[in-house]
């Protein structure tokens, strides 16, 4: 385990990290846990393994022993302070002006309820759950508390812990854009640009399960995978430009930021919606948006899931209609490698961090069982 040194003064709420945590491992008590922590924005190496206080469930909260979590495009953005074109300084307000507001990354998890606070009725110790923490992060750790009425649900038995950990981020984004914001109807023709990524691989499955006629756009090595997820047609973006085609779409969901309205307009049906998941600042402000007379729309914004969305995803997974794609899995302690892989922008589906199975953490985890 790396030695972790702070690069700025610690605030009272900052977890204390010993200078040489390896030497002090023997002194680790059940009041601490291991987590991947970052204190400044930068490359994957700003993230390091550290000993931090183990959270305790308050009234109405549950404590989850994390089995698996993911490294997503959200973790990449928050770690490197990389925001979509035009958002500039707004990124600092979102993630922390003087440094990261949430030093432990990770937006989603799957694990086992270890203990519950007073007045908790929905869960009991031993329950297998998955959860979404979104912009509050905090999942790249051995433990996380959640409000029992937060975005936490029983793990679908059809999914493994790594799959359940990857259920929410891409799934909720895809569901909210397609169904809630895009008003997708059965029978509509849906084009997913970036169909092999975390959001795209979920969007293909969810659009198909909502009765859409789905076409996916991806690179050559992902064509077979995207077809297997339920796409009726797949366009290899290195061979063919979807916007030069003749088939019009009701919905174009773009996760890559490459599909401007100008580019898509010709292949959108009247009433068509361009769902700009990775929309630029100017798109968000409405620049270049279609005239009302065209009946076409550009939809941007942030996907903020509610309990119903998460339950819908769990039900889809339970029915076999949605299975998160796991590309690679790394032990928590090797999260730097996972970040580097995600940064490259070529992941297929999801990158998982295995927490409970991490051999580097095994000694303390065994003691805490
Ligand atoms: N608005 C919101 O609330 C919200 C929520 C979640 C995510 N997002 C944003 O959505 C974007 C996508 O997120 P993600 O997690 O899905 O990213 P991701 O998993 O990192 O996406 C990587 C995938 O994109 C594919 N890709 C790259 N360029 C492409 C192109 N021109 N055409 C087709 N496929 C292409 C890559 O395939 P190849 O390797 O073959 O190139 C790779 O499989 C990010 O910008 C993220 O910030 C927004």
Other beta carbons within 10 Å of 219: 16
Pocket flag, ligand 1, residue 198 (CB < 6 Å): yes
Q: What is the mean pLDDT of the chain?
A: 89
CA end-to-end span of the chain, whole Å?
21
Pocket test for ligand 1, best of 170, 194, 220, 300 (most atoms within 8 A of CB): 194
To which residue do tokens 């000694």 refer? Answer: 363
* Range of weakest confidence among 3-17, 96-110, 176-190: 3-17
Give percent of the chain with pLDDT exceeding 90: 80
Distance 119 CA to ligand 1 centre (A): 41
For residue 105, CA distances in Å to 41, 54, 198 come to 12, 15, 17
User: pLDDT tens-digit profile of 206-249?
Assistant: 999 999 999 999 999 999 999 999 999 999 999 999 999 998 99
Is 42 in contact with 88 (CB distance < 8 Å)?
no
- Give pLDDT, residue 275: 98
Is 135 in contact with 49 (CB distance < 8 Å)?
no
Pocket flag, ligand 1, residue 73 (CB < 6 Å): yes
pLDDT tier, 91 (very low <50, low <70, confident <90, very high otherwise): confident
Distance 148 CA to ligand 1 centre (A): 31
- Give pLDDT, residue 85: 82
- Sheet (strand 249-254) strand order: 233-236, 213-218, 189-193, 249-254, 268-276, 297-299
Please state the pTM of the whole predicted model.
0.90
Which domains, ranges and CATH numbers included, belong to the chain? 25-168+306-368 (3.90.180.10), 171-299 (3.40.50.720)
Per-residue burial over 234-261, b = 16 or more CB atoms within 10 Å of its CB, e = otherwise: bbebeeeebbeeeeebbbbbbbbbebbb
Atom of ligand 1 nearest to the CA of 173: 5
Pocket flag, ligand 1, residue 199 (CB < 6 Å): yes
Which strand (E) or helix (H) includes residue 68? strand 61-71
User: pLDDT tens-digit profile of 304-344?
Assistant: 999 999 999 999 999 999 999 999 999 999 999 999 999 99
Pocket flag, ligand 1, residue 219 (CB < 6 Å): yes
Question: Strand, helix or coil at 300?
Answer: coil
Res. 100: pLDDT tops 70: yes
User: pLDDT tens-digit profile of 238-292?
Assistant: 999 999 999 899 999 999 999 999 999 999 999 999 999 998 888 888 887 788 8
User: pLDDT tens-digit profile of 1-60?
Assistant: 433 222 222 233 333 333 333 333 334 457 999 999 999 999 999 999 999 999 999 999
């Amino acid at each position: 385990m790396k030695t972790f040194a702070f690069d700025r003064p610690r605030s009272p709420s900052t977890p204390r990290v010993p200078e040489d945590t390896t030497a002090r491992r023997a002194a680790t008590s059940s009041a601490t846990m291991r987590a991947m922590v970052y204190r400044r924005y930068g490359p994957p190496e700003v993230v390091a393994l550290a000993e931090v206080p183990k959270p305790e469930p308050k009234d109405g909260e549950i404590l989850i022993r994390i089995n698996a979590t993911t490294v997503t495009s959200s973790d990449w953005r928050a770690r490197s302070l990389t925001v979509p074109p035009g958002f500039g300084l707004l990124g600092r307000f979102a993630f922390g002006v003087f440094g990261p507001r949430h030093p432990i990354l990770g937006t989603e998890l799957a694990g086992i309820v270890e203990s519950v606070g007073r007045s908790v009725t929905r869960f009991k110790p031993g329950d297998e759950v998955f959860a979404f923490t979104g912009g509050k992060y905090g999942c790249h750790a051995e433990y996380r508390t959640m409000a029992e009425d937060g975005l936490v649900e029983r793990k679908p038995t059809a999914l493994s812990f790594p799959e359940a950990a990857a259920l929410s981020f891409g799934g909720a984004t895809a569901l909210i854009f397609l169904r809630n914001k895009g008003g997708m109807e059965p029978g509509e023709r849906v084009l997913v640009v970036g169909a092999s990524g975390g959001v795209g691989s979920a969007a293909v499955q969810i659009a198909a399960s909502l009765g859409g006629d789905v076409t996916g756009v991806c690179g050559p090595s992902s064509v077979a995978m995207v077809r297997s997820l339920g796409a009726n047609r797949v366009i290899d973006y290195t061979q063919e430009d979807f916007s030069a085609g003749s088939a019009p779409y009701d919905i174009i969901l773009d996760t890559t930021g490459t599909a401007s309205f100008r580019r898509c307009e010709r292949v959108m049906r009247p009433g068509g919606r361009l769902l700009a998941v990775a929309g630029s600042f100017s798109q968000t402000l409405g620049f270049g948006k279609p005239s009302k007379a065209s009946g076409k729309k550009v939809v941007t914004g942030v996907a903020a899931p509610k309990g119903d969305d998460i339950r819908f995803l769990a039900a889809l997974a339970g029915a076999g209609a949605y299975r998160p794609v796991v590309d690679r899995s790394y032990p928590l302690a090797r999260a730097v490698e996972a970040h580097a892989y995600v940064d490259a922008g070529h992941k297929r589906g999801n990158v998982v961090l295995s927490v409970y199975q991490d051999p580097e953490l095994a000694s303390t985890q065994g003691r805490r069982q």
